[in-house]
Amino acid sequence: MITLAGVGVHYGPAAALAGVSGEVAAGEWLAVIGPNGAGKSTLLRCIAQLTRHEGRITIGGQPVTSLRRRALAQLVAYVPQVPVLPAEMTVADYVLLGRTPHIGYLRMETAGDRRICASLLARLDLAAMAGRALSTLSGGEAQRVVLARALAQQAPVLLLDEPTSALDLGRRVEALELIDTARRDRSLTVISAVHDLTLAGQFADRLLLLSGGQVVTSGPAAAVLREDVLGPHFGTAVQIVTGPDGALVVISRRDRGPLRPPAPGR
């Protein structure tokens, strides 16, 4: 379980995040949504202790500030919005970096670390490209490789900052399915910042809407993906449509006044 109490980040007088409190249950997938600049990435960086913050964050009852960096990395894996992929590094070497929290200072990887990474590469269908340089990967392949590195950390908490932002529609669903499978296989707690509200609603157990650094609301998709909830924060051009399977689809449209149903007989 992750708890947040009064978490805030200030850059000078401006608050990037203010008074964020809440809980994330073990095994839950929480999607953090909100307009640009809402504080989604900042919140993830606070949990990963990559930015100074006020307030208190605990994981499994332990305050994160009391943990050494290496101990924290054994609990929390973090994937930034734009991961750095050194051009010449091979896929296998990159995924092996994920074992860093389990390797003693100045030690090298063991055969066990290599085994863990090899089985991950096989699970994520990456074994054939293990020897390829990162610069040769497509966006979708790179996304899977980055996820493999995060999973190699074997941390119970996975923080993903916009994991699908660089992907096309099909690859987005594919990437989120992969995360969902990994979550179920390993009972991971996932917190992800997501721009695609429709997919956030379909994959996450719960959505947390941030705006201006503050929590607006949180709850299941049906409670959060509503025009009256999203509208004030994303602008009026947000429309929610219920799909045939009951899934909520968030569409953005050009603001031309209220949408009228087509006239009968046409």
With CB under 8 A as the contact rule, the residue among 12, 14, 61, 69 that binds another protein is 69
With CB under 8 A as the contact rule, the residue among 43, 46, 57, 72 that binds another protein is 72
Pick the closer one to another protein by CB: 45 or 183.
45
Pick the closer one to another protein by CB: 12 or 265.
12
* Smallest separation (angstroms) from another protein to the CB of 224: 28
Residues 83-122 binding another protein (CB under 8 A) are 83-89, 93-94, 97-98, 100-101, 103, 105-109
Q: Distance between alpha carbon 160 and the CA centroid of its chain, in Å?
A: 3
* Smallest separation (angstroms) from another protein to the CB of 229: 32
Residues 30-59 binding another protein (CB under 8 A) are 48-52
Tell me if residue 11 falls in helix, strand or coil: strand
* Smallest separation (angstroms) from another protein to the CB of 98: 7
* Smallest separation (angstroms) from another protein to the CB of 22: 22
* Smallest separation (angstroms) from another protein to the CB of 84: 4
Q: How many residues does the chain have?
A: 266
* Smallest separation (angstroms) from another protein to the CB of 104: 11
Residues 132-161 binding another protein (CB under 8 A) are 135, 153
CA distance 239 to 252: 6
Pick the closer one to another protein by CB: 88 or 228.
88
CA distance 238 to 223: 15
CA distance 229 to 259: 18
How far CA 137 is from CA of 12, 79, 130, 178, in Å, comes to 40, 18, 11, 18
**Token representation of residue 229:** 């909830």
Residues 194-253 binding another protein (CB under 8 A) are none
Pick the closer one to another protein by CB: 48 or 240.
48
Question: Which positions ≥6 away from 163 have C-beta within 8 Å?
Answer: 79, 143, 147, 175, 176, 179, 192, 194
Nearest 10 degrees: CA dihedral of 139, 143, 144, 145?
A: 100
How far CA 49 is from CA of 190, 242, 253, in Å, comes to 16, 38, 38
Binding site for another protein (CB under 8 A): 48-52, 69-74, 76-78, 80, 83-89, 93-94, 97-98, 100-101, 103, 105-109, 135, 153
